[in-house]
Structure 1
């Protein structure tokens, strides 16, 4: 049996892992538009520094996912993030946050290791720089077309993992049952997303503060999140600091198409004001990423999504899970992969 998978994010990797474990005769072909894996759980490297510029870490909220990461996958290089999360308000006033025993997990070489290690446990073929633009149904199988006009398939099952708006466009234009595709497209289009602009600010000095991160709890400040990558073992050389600064949704939407240089400079200024350190206005180096579809505000209508599974089309990801968190995407991927494997075993 051949399985087509659009996207190589965390949910895709978890689904491929579950399919390989439960249906080892099935083969997954993963088609990813970018050059990397793990989607918004993304890592970059610069001169010996690793930084997670999308999802910052994996929460230990889900026992099944924690067990997968710590016991079933290769755990070498898995680390806990050091330090508490403090809060700040609309005026930039910082205070201590709620103390919890929550573990925050990543890897010494970055959070993208999650997908890399999951895929490494399978025989899946991952094709990067392959953007799927068309879906069609041929009898009981699925065919795909990429941006270069190349055809992929046929596939006995199709897993569709891009964010809901992108999935909606693909499904609405698919050559498939009119009522079924319209139902799924409408459900996916109804999922609203938060947009986030991210600045990465590197400094040649160590920042002396008592927290790992700051979160804006009233959601009225221009910045929503500031995190220190040096609190992750192995990420930042001694004596240096790297800040991940994420703007709030409204500010990000208003400035999404602005010059990134101006956006980063303004976020550096705002960060210096919140942290209370004027040196932060002039980082030694910077990076930038715009996430148009950063986090779903709510989940999709599950009835529409589940109805498509009768034809072998499975939608998955955090927007299907109903929670814009990495552990939720991973769990949804596992559960979806297990349903795919059961359907193959039953011959559905």
Structure 2
């Protein structure tokens, strides 16, 4: 039986596994370094509150992906409200007139990958960090942080962000010319970092938008969103804001005290929203995303050469668009390509 190894359980990997399950009889093994799935489309829960603290929603911008989400529509909900804008001074104005629909799940965006993996016979091993890739003849072996070897595999799907993929490429025991060309291409993908504060309040906010985005990229904040605009996420009488700092602020403060970062972002939120109460949240959470949003795409010729050897890169950085729907679409297309090549 054909064996496929998957590094990372992000949205693209979940979509690829979904395709492979229906198109092949391959045995699929997924190794995920964290305790969850769906990558930066991440969800946490606190008491009766659910919040998406990485990617914010699934954008209605690709009909195939939207149709796929509706195949697993248990708990699929539409985010309520429009997105306004604010500038470097914090002045707020209305956004575009024609705004796309936005989706998540009552249980959070992570549900998408859980649905996709759950519809397959793929085996997902969590808290298993792949540290090395070995080429043995025409097959692949993955070595984890504990030295355990997985495989051999006939093909690999590699889903981590480009910088982490580059580390695997660099240390891979593989044909030097093909490896070096792939390494050069992957290393050229630039990323924006995002430091996120989650701010919970025991009162309801009265403002008309779902979210505000800083369009001139000159404000410390890049994004403010209200989780109560997602049905089932926040109990009545409460508010939860997800505040994402811009790239420069995130890089400058990435290793600072989380408490200080949260307090600073709460102050910025209060200023933009013009509500002094927001400086004093009832509870908080935070997350740093060092490789949050790819700024550039990747050379497709290097990816094609690697695929000839059975190494398939996938994710939003391969798609060249830092959006959840782009990652899912790329996973579907990569899975189809691998299935055809098998």
Q: Under a length normalisation based on structure 1, what TM-score does the superposition of the two structures give?
A: 0.97
**2-side partners of 1:99 and 1:80: how far apart?**
18
Query: Equivalences for 1:266-305 in 2 at 5 Å?
Result: 266-305=264-303
SS in 2 for 1:287: strand
Q: Which runs of 4+ in 1 moved over 6 A?
A: none
Residue in structure 1 matching 2:119, options 118, 121, 127: 121
| Aligned residue number for residue 33 of structure 1 | 33
Paired residues of 2:85 and 2:214 also in contact (CA < 8 A): yes
| Aligned residue number for residue 187 of structure 1 | 185
Is 1:3–2:4 an aligned residue pair?
yes
SS in 1 for 2:235: coil
Compute the RMSD of aligned alpha carbons. 0.6
Q: Which runs of 5+ in 2 are unaligned?
A: none
Displacement of 1:99 = 1.8
**2-side partners of 1:249 and 1:64: how far apart?**
31
1:189-218 Cα deviation digits (max 9, x unpaired):
100000000000000000000110000011
Q: Under a length normalisation based on structure 2, what TM-score does the superposition of the two structures give?
A: 0.99
Query: Equivalences for 1:51-70 in 2 at 5 Å?
Result: 51-70=51-70
Q: Which runs of 5+ in 1 are unaligned?
A: none
Residue in structure 2 matching 1:262, options 242, 247, 260: 260
Is 1:12–2:10 an aligned residue pair?
no
1:280-307 Cα deviation digits (max 9, x unpaired):
0000000000000000001111110111
Residue in structure 2 matching 1:339, options 306, 316, 337: 337
Displacement of 1:343 = 1.1
Paired residues of 2:166 and 2:183 also in contact (CA < 8 A): yes
Displacement of 1:74 = 2.2
**1-side partners of 2:60 and 2:152: how far apart?**
38
SS in 2 for 1:324: coil
Paired residues of 1:195 and 1:291 also in contact (CA < 8 A): yes
